[in-house]
Amino acid sequence: MKKTTCPLDCFDGCSIVVGEDKTLKGDKDHPVTQGYLCHHLNHYHTFPRIAKPSYLGREISLDEAMDVLEQQLSQNPQNKTLFFKGSGNLGIMQSVTKLFFAKHEAVLASGSLCDEAGDAGIVEGRGANLSFSPLHVKQSEVVILWGRNPSVTNSHMLPSLKGKTLIVIDPVSIDLAQKADLHIPIKPRSDIYLAMLLSRVAYMEQMEDTEFIEQRCSNFKSFIDFVCGIPMRDLMHKCGCSLENVGTLLSLIKGKKVSILVGIGVQKYSFGHSVLRSIDSFAALLGLFGKEGCGVGYLSNSGFGFDAPFKVKAKTEVLPIVDFGKYGLVFIQGGNPMEQMPCTPRVEHGLKNAGFVVYFGLHENETSKIADLIIPAKTFLEKDDLKLSYGHEFIGQMPKAYESDIGISEYELCSKLMSHFNYEPLQSAEAILQGVINSHSVLKNGHLISKTYETLPYEKTFYTSSGKFEFFDEFDDEFDNDSEGFYLLATKQNKSLNSQFIKDDYLYVPLHVGLNKGDKVILSNQYGQCEYIVMPSDRLRSDCVMLYSGAKNANRLTPPKASQEGHCAIYQEIKVQMEKV
Ligand SMILES: Nc1nc2c(c(=O)[nH]1)N[C@H]1C(S)=C(S)[C@@H](COP(=O)(O)OP(=O)(O)OC[C@H]3O[C@@H](n4cnc5c(=O)[nH]c(N)nc54)[C@H](O)[C@@H]3O)O[C@H]1N2
Ligand SMILES: Nc1nc2c(c(=O)[nH]1)N[C@H]1C(S)=C(S)[C@@H](COP(=O)(O)OP(=O)(O)OC[C@H]3O[C@@H](n4cnc5c(=O)[nH]c(N)nc54)[C@H](O)[C@@H]3O)O[C@H]1N2
Ligand code: SF4
Ligand SMILES: [Mo]
C-alpha cells in the first residue's frame, strides 16, 4: 500500500491509497478529503491513455521520438521555439521542463486560462492570495458561494457547508442555490456592481468594522467616496439586483462569522482583477479577515512561501492570446489548447501554420489530433512529484506508486534534453522535491502543512508593502452590458475535468426560447458562428446560454483577448446571437 495525491486541477488535492493491484481509494486519514475520491479518480484506469509515441501518424519508439524532438529543437531558431504548458497535472515537477526551455532560450507562454485575473486583484488588495481551508469554513455561521459551485468543483468543501446559512450569488440556479437561504441570480459580469452596492448599503447601515478599518486597512475613505459617488439606481440596474436582495443578504450576515467562497465565474472578464478587489473590499469593510470562520477564499497561490525550483528568466508571450503560427516549433505539455484556449478558429489557424507541433500528454485530444509528434506522458502514479493544493493547507506528497513501460516523465524528458544539449544536469528529483517541502512546511497534528497556516490567514498581517489591506477606488469597464444577445457562460461539469474524461457537449438554453432537446441552433458573434445541439434548462436566466468547459466547440466564439491584469483569458466578455437551424 502506498499513498499519493490526486494531481488534477481541483481545489481538493485528495490523498489516495494505491493498492497492490493499482486500485485507487480515498485515504481516510486526510483531514480534508477524508477517504472520498470523485468520479475522475474512481474511474481513472478506465480512460484510455496514449500508449506509444507517434510521428506524422506513424507509431515510433520513445528513443525515436526523442531523436525527432532533439532534431527539431536543433533545427529551429531558439526564439522561434515555444513552450506551452496546460494544467492537466498540477504537480510541482510538471514545471521542470521550463528549466530546459528557458536554458534553450525558447519563448515561454506565460499567463493563465483560469484564475489569474482574480488573483491579480487579490494581490493588489491583500499582497498575497492565501488559501482558505474547508477546516476554516467549518467555523463559519454563514457561507456565501459567490460564483463558485462546490458540489461540482470542490466536493470536499461540502461537509463544511452543512448546517450553515447559505447564500448563493450565481446567474445559474446551481444545486446548492436550490437549497440556499438566499439565491441572487445575478446578471453575469456584474458582480463588481453588486459588491459596491452591498458595501454602500452596509456603510449606510453602519455595519463597518471601524477598529479593523482603522488598524489594518488603508484607502477606506477614497473607497467609500468612490462607491457613494455612483448612483444606487445605476448599481442596481447594472447587476439586476433589487434593494430587497441586498437587504436580505445583509440581514443574513449581520454580526455573523461569514466566509465568502469565490470561484472563477466572476472574473472571466477584462476587469476580473477589479471584481475580486471589490468583493475583498466589501469583506474588509465588514472586518472579515484574520478572524475565525471569516474571510474570502478563492483559488489560492498554492506555492506561497515555498521555494520555486523552476523559476526562470525567459522571453514570454501572453498565454491566452499567443500566436502559435509565428513559431517553427511549438511544444505543448499537459494541455489541450485546441479546445480550451479562447477563439478556437484562431488557435487552429495558428497551430496549422506553426512549423512543427509536439503534444506531450496522457490522452488523445483535439490538440494531439493535429500534432506532428505525440509523446505519451507517465501518469502521476508512475513518477515522483509533490502537490500543493489551491484549496487547503496540506502538503500532498506524491512518491511513485509503481513502474510502467509506457511514456516518459517530465523529469526524464527534461534530463534527456539537458544532456543532449550539454546543459547543466538537473538535481535529483528527490532533492528538488525535498527542497520545496523543507522551504516552508511544518508538522501539525501529524500532517505537513504550509508554514503560513500556523495561524489564521491574514491574522498577523497583510502582505502588501504597507502590511495593510488596500481598498480599491477605481476600475475600467468598457463592455456594453445592455447590448443585444445572450451571455455565453461556461461552467464545470461533474464527470469531466475540463476536456479530460467524460464530456457533455450540449448547449443549455433557457426554457422561454421554446426549444426542445436535440434541436440545432447557430450561435454567432463577431468572432464567428457555430452550430450546437440544444438541451433546455430551467436553471438559466432568460439572458444566458451555457456550455460546459471541455465541451466540443466551447471556444469557437470566445474572445482572443487577455484581462487587464493577470494575463488571463476572458471567456465571458462576449454576447452571442442565437438562431434555430
Ligand atoms: N468536476 C470538475 N471539477 C473541477 C473542474 C472541472 O472541470 N470539473 N475544473 C477545475 C478548475 S480548472 C477550476 S478553475 C475550478 C473552478 O471552480 P468554480 O469556480 O467553482 O467553477 P465554474 O463552474 O467555472 O464557476 C462557478 C460558478 O460561476 C458561475 N458564474 C459564471 N459567470 C458568472 C458571473 O458573471 N457572476 C457570478 N456570480 N457567477 C458566475 C457559474 O454559473 C458557476 O456556477 O474547478 C476545478 N474543479
Ligand atoms: N470556454 C471556456 N474555456 C475554458 C474554461 C472555461 O471556463 N470556459 N476554463 C479554463 C480553465 S479554468 C482551465 S484550467 C483550462 C484547462 O485547460 P487545459 O489545461 O488544456 O486542461 P485539460 O483540458 O484538462 O487538458 C489537460 C491535458 O493534460 C494531459 N495530462 C494529464 N496529466 C498529465 C501529465 O501528468 N503529464 C502530461 N504531460 N500531460 C498530462 C491530459 O492528457 C489532457 O489532455 O481550460 C480553460 N478553458
Ligand atoms: S479531481 Fe479533485 S475531488 Fe477528484 S479525486 Fe482529484 S482532488 Fe479529489
Ligand atoms: Mo482552471
* pLDDT of residue 243 exceeding 90: yes
Provide φ and ψ at 364, rounded to 5°.
Answer: -65, 140
Q: Is residue 383 pLDDT above 90, yes or no?
A: yes
Proximal ligand: closest to the CA of 494: 1
Mean pLDDT of the region 218-229 = 98
- The answer to whether the CB of 490 falls within 8 A of the CB of 553 is no
**28-64 residue pLDDT tens:** 999 999 999 999 999 999 999 999 999 999 999 999 9
**CA dist list (Å): 505 to 175, 502, 523:** 20, 10, 14
Burial class (CB within 10 angstroms; exposed 0-12, middle 13-18, buried 19+) of 424: exposed
Which residues' Cβ are closer than 6 Å to ligand 1?
9-10, 114-115, 146-149, 152-153, 169-172, 174, 186, 188-189, 191, 263-266, 489, 491-494, 496-498, 549, 572
Judged against a pLDDT cut of 90, whether residue 568 lies above it is answered with yes
- Binned at pLDDT 50, 70 and 90, residue 454 comes out as confident
Predicted local distance difference test score (pLDDT) of residue 328: 98
- For 388-417, write each residue's pLDDT tens digit: 999 999 999 999 999 999 999 999 999 999
The CB of 551 under 6 Å from ligand 2? The reply is no
Q: Using the atom order of ligand 2, give the atom closest to the CA of residue 555.
A: 1
Cα of 566 vs centre of ligand 3, distance in Å, is 26
Place of cell 511513485: 400
Average pLDDT over residues 334-347: 98
Task: Report d(CA 268, CA 558) in Å as an integer.
Answer: 11
Work out which ligand 3 atom sits closest to the CA atom of 7: 6
* Non-local CB neighbours of 215 within 8 Å, separated by 6+ positions: none
Q: How far is the CA of 117 from the centre of ligand 2 (A)?
A: 18
- Cα of 376 to ligand 3 centre, how many Å? 22
**pLDDT at site 298:** 98
Cα distance between residue 129 and residue 431, in whole Å: 27
**What does each C-alpha distance from 407 to 54, 275, 411 come to in angstroms?**
12, 42, 12
- The residue ranges of DSSP E strands in 13-146, in sequence order, are 15-18, 24-26, 54-55, 58-59, 81-85, 107-110, 142-146
Instruction: Write down the pLDDT at residue 32.
Output: 96
**From the CB of 490, is ligand 2 less than 6 Å away?**
yes
Specify the pLDDT at position 48: 97
Diameter of the chain by CA atoms? 71
Segment holding 320, helix H or strand E: none
Q: Average pLDDT in the 209-224 region?
A: 98
Q: Are strands 182-184 and 165-169 parallel, antiparallel or unpaired?
A: parallel
| Mean pLDDT of all residues in 187-203 | 98
Percent of the chain's residues with pLDDT above 70: 100
Q: How far apart are the first and last CA of the chain?
A: 56
Strand partners, 47: none
- CA 262 → CA 153, 234, 266, 283, 303, distances in Å? 12, 24, 8, 12, 19
Query: What would the grid cell of residue 102 be?
Result: 528557458
Coil, helix or strand at residue 30? coil
Q: In the predicted model, what is the mean pLDDT of residues 553-566?
A: 98
Question: Stretch 262-286: mean pLDDT, rounded?
Answer: 98
Residue-level pLDDT at 344: 98
> pLDDT-based confidence at 422, cuts 50/70/90?
very high
Residue 268: predicted pLDDT: 98
| Any ligand 2 atom below 6 A from CB of 549 | yes
What is the residue-averaged pLDDT of the chain?
A: 97
Task: List, in order, residues 6 or more apart from 81 with CB less than 8 Å away.
Answer: 73, 101, 104, 106, 107, 327, 328, 329, 330, 331
User: From CA 551, how far away is CA 237, in angstroms rounded?
Assistant: 32
Amino acid identity of residue 336, one-letter, is N
Beta carbons of 97 and 408 less than 8 angstroms apart: no
pLDDT in the model for residue 80: 98
State the Cα–Cα distance between residues 84 and 88, nearest whole angstrom: 12
Q: Could you tell me the pTM of the whole model?
A: 0.98
pLDDT value, residue 1: 85
Question: What domains can you pick out in the chain, each with its CATH number?
Answer: 2-113+305-447 (3.40.50.740), 116-301+457-470 (3.40.228.10), 486-580 (2.40.40.20)
What angle (nearest 5°) sits at the alpha carbon of residue 28, between those of residues 25 and 33?
Answer: 85
What is the tens place of the pLDDT at every residue in 79-102?
A: 999 999 999 999 999 999 999 999
Whose cell is 523559476? That residue is 311
Nearest to residue 159, comparing CAs of 136, 139, 134?
134
For residue 235, what is the DSSP state? H
β-strands 356-361, 373-376: how paired? parallel
Average confidence (pLDDT) over 4-22:
98
Q: Determine if residue 528 is left, alpha or beta; phi over 0 gives left, psi from -120 to 50 gives alpha, anything else beta.
A: left
CA–CA distance, 54 with 60 (Å, rounded to integer)? 5
Helix 410-420 vs helix 96-103: crossing angle, to nearest 10: 20
Query: What's the whole-number mean pLDDT along residues 300-323?
Result: 97
pLDDT band for position 455 (cuts 50, 70, 90): confident
φ, ψ (nearest 5 deg) of residue 345: -55, -35
- CA atoms of 30 and 513, how far apart (whole Å): 47
Whole-number CA gyration radius for the chain: 24
Contact 283/296 with Cβ under 8 angstroms?
yes
The whole-angstrom separation of Cα 443 and Cα 449 is: 6
User: Ligand 1 centroid vs 153 CA: distance in angstroms?
Assistant: 7
Q: How many CB atoms neighbour CB 428 within 10 A?
A: 11
Residues within 5 Å of ion ligand 4 by Cβ? 114
- Ligand nearest to the Cα of 176, by number: 1
The proportion of the chain whose per-residue pLDDT surpasses 90, expressed as a percent, equals 99
Question: What is the C-alpha to C-alpha distance for residues 444 and 421, in angstroms, rounded to an integer?
Answer: 44
175: its cell numbers: 444545486
Give me the residue label for grid cell 468598457.
478
Predicted confidence at residue 551, as pLDDT, reads 98
Mutate to test the pocket of ligand 1, among 491, 499, 504, 570 (most ligand atoms within 8 A of CB): 491
Residue whose CA is at the smallest distance from ligand 1 atom 36: 266
Do residues 358 and 373 lie in contact, with contact meaning Cβ atoms separated by under 8 Å? Answer: yes
